[in-house]
Structure 1
Amino acid sequence: MKLLFATLLLCSLLLSSSFLEPASAGSCKTNIDDASFCDGKCSTRCQKAGVVDRCLKYCGICCEECKCVPSGTYGNKHECPCYRDKRSSKGKPKCP
């Protein structure tokens, strides 16, 4: 019985470790990469905004926190749930 339990435990550990993604030094982004990523995505997102500087400001804040920006100039917020769900203190959507 103990041998069966030990075998099952070992198999489950091996299986679970195969689903984990190995971490490497090259897989982490630096703050410089994040800033350029956010700048590019937010400039695309805000190109048709009425108040571009305000759009860029809030898009940049949301991008830094969520690490993603929905595609296009409007909508598509389902692509980034964190970006979609951020709210201002008044309960309105924070991210453009």
Structure 2
Amino acid sequence: MPPTIPLDTIYTTDEAAERLRVSRRTMIKLGRGMGSCSVIGREYFFSERDLLEIWQAQRAMPTSSQGSAVKVKGFLSDARLQHSLQRLTQKKRRRQQ
């Protein structure tokens, strides 16, 4: 039997929102938008890793000493990448005239 990986701490939406000091609604929007949450029924759950991904994505863009923004490559989660690929590969409906 392969070694098991311990599961991170799992947080409810309210617990995750409290940790990141945002509202419940904002927490759900951030989690769904980034693909960094799990949904069971109508409930959203966040692992410690999910919270870290959301936190890193919300960081302010650094500026150089001249005051212009430095380009930083964004992180695309596996779930978000899969969702984007599915949308790109779906057949588009033809308009009826």
Output the TM-score relative to the length of structure 1: 0.30
The structure with the largest helix share of the pair is 1
The structure with the largest strand share of the pair is 2
